[in-house]
Structure 1
Amino acid sequence: MDVETAPKPNAAPDAGRPLRVLAIANQKGGVGKTTTAINLGTALAAVGESVLLIDSDPQGNASTGLGVGRAARKVTMYDVYMGDKTLDEAAIQTVLPGLDLAASDPDLSGLEMELAASPRRSYRLRDALSALRATGKYSYVLIDCPPSLNLLTVNAMTGADAVFVPLQTEFFALEGLTQLMRTIELVRGSLNPALEIQGVVLTMYDRRNSLSEQVARDVREHFGDTVYDTVIPRNVRVSEAPSFGKPVLIYDLKCAGSQAYLQLAREVVRRERERREAKKN
């Protein structure tokens, strides 16, 4: 991966604003990344936060999972990355009040080649987020990253305050986590020195499976308090919801998956409040 050198006077994303930008990332596929982006965004909106979900994956699963079809995507993240539109112009109101979406576009798959010779190619999203921060419109921005290390992932981590890591409770998921930590260190070293790990959330957890318990124990031993207390259980209703173009909280509010994401949202908000208080002191 070719990275640029961060400019010295403005090495980190804008600080001190109430907006918190989280890149939801894991370089291993199938860990519940997009599912977490959709449902955490929905749950945060449900508990009173104002949220923008950025679908920065060319597959567009987050957009589809929120019921936003191709025809409704008049302005997309491709337009934002190319500098033709702002994030505010790309934001689409979803069925849930408080949750907006900046939709994906298949053209994002060719973005790396299109911007190969462009200046500040790794800062396109950060520049767009700087304008959005000034509006005070949102309290959280969640960026659904592709499951690979490419220009879209680099842009997300360069523009984010922190990385939010969904981790499936299976053995091979730990290998993906190791790769992700290397990527975060790389971005910290050259593009965004202030990048933090927001937290690790265990997904697809099966209490009947001893391996799930073992992986959870190993992750907590290694990452300590960085791992959220809330775990997302393996739940058929969570798996079904995207096929209906709905977050699971709208598809079936009472199911175990919905309740877990609501609990996670409350924990995210509480930890964020504690983080801000600690910085003041």
Structure 2
Amino acid sequence: DLDPQANLTLGLGVEWDQLTCALNDVLMDPDAVPLVTILQQIGDLPLYLAPGHLRMADCEVMLMPAADRAYRLRNALEALGADRRFDWVLIDCPPSLGTLTQNAIVACSHLLIPTEPKYYAFEGMRTLNRMIVQLSRALRFKVETLGVLLTLYERGTRLHKDISDEIRKMFGDKVFNTVIYKNVRLSESEYAGQPIILYDRRATGAQNYEALAEEILARATQ
């Protein structure tokens, strides 16, 4: 969880204010705090969280003088290479292109760009896409966009349909076929601090995310 808001951490039932160490500590001093030491298993799932913290925002400023500031997460992940527990690493980052997001881009092989079918989100995504291209050139690091994900989609809303159509025109087959529909059970699962797959597997939101997982696997293994 690279986002200073730590919503992913809270949504998985981990209280950031109870943590002794979090991902910000790994980025600041990876030798003193190896990534593996902060991982927390989520329930009985084969899912591990590297928790975020509000202090993550401090990394944006404190890492600026470091020559390797954009490579801290990549180096930390490489140290996990021999750990057979992990097949996939998903990185949640803030919607900006500061030091934290730079770390995510350098560390990953593919980008998944979520967006709401709203005008400001649409314009922001266009800007973000251009900036990602510029950043990858500046850092001399190639990253591929795996897909664009439409989220919080409201059925029967003309505006959402129109903007979704525009997004599909712009990004073509990069847009996932799966759409995450607005669903109260998703909000409830966040409040309960549980993944939707544990909270209510029959919910529309759970079915949407299961379909997305299958589509991601199919694309990533092509």
TM-score, normalised to structure 1, is 0.74
Partner Cα distance (2:43, 2:83) in 1 = 22
Structure 1 96/71 Cα, relative in aligned 2: closer, same or farther at 3 Å?
farther
Cα-to-partner distance string for 1:25-83 (whole Å, 9 max, x where unaligned) = xxxxxxxxxxxxxxxxxxxxxxxxxxxxxx11121111110001136533310121012
Q: Deviation of residue 192 (structure 1)?
A: 4.6
Unaligned runs of at least 5 residues, structure 2: none
Partner secondary structure for residue 143 of structure 1: coil
Partner secondary structure for residue 141 of structure 1: coil
Higher mean Cα deviation, 146-155 or 258-267? 146-155
Partner residue in 1 for 2:2: 56
Partner Cα distance (1:219, 1:92) in 2 = 36
Aligned counterpart in structure 1 of residue 117 of structure 2, from 169, 174, 178: 169
Structure 1 136/86 Cα, relative in aligned 2: closer, same or farther at 3 Å?
same
Residue identity matched to 2:3: D
TM alignment of 1:105-184, pairs within 5 A: 105-184=53-132
Partner Cα distance (1:219, 1:119) in 2 = 37
Residue identity matched to 1:141: V
Partner Cα distance (1:73, 1:126) in 2 = 23
TM alignment of 1:214-233, pairs within 5 A: 214-233=162-181
> Which structure has the highest strand share of the two?
1
Partner Cα distance (2:145, 2:59) in 1 = 26
Q: Deviation of residue 125 (structure 1)?
A: 0.8
Partner Cα distance (2:217, 2:142) in 1 = 20
Instruction: Report if aligned partners of 2:73, 2:104 keep a CA contact under 8 Å in 1.
Output: yes
* Residue 70 (1) aligns with residue 16 (2): yes
Q: Deviation of residue 171 (structure 1)?
A: 1.8
Partner Cα distance (2:112, 2:165) in 1 = 19
**Identical aligned pairs, as a percentage?**
37
Residue identity matched to 2:6: G
Higher relative contact order (CA 8 A, sep 6+): 1
Residue identity matched to 1:77: L
* Residue 209 (1) aligns with residue 133 (2): no
Unaligned runs of at least 5 residues, structure 1: 1-54, 275-281
Aligned counterpart in structure 1 of residue 185 of structure 2, from 237, 242, 246: 237
Partner Cα distance (1:71, 1:267) in 2 = 35
Instruction: Report if aligned partners of 2:16, 2:52 keep a CA contact under 8 Å in 1.
Output: no
Q: Deviation of residue 189 (structure 1)?
A: 0.4
User: Cα RMSD between the aligned structures?
Assistant: 1.5
Residue identity matched to 2:55: D
Partner residue in 1 for 2:134: 186
Partner Cα distance (2:13, 2:200) in 1 = 15
Structure 1 184/69 Cα, relative in aligned 2: closer, same or farther at 3 Å?
same
TM-score, normalised to structure 2, is 0.93
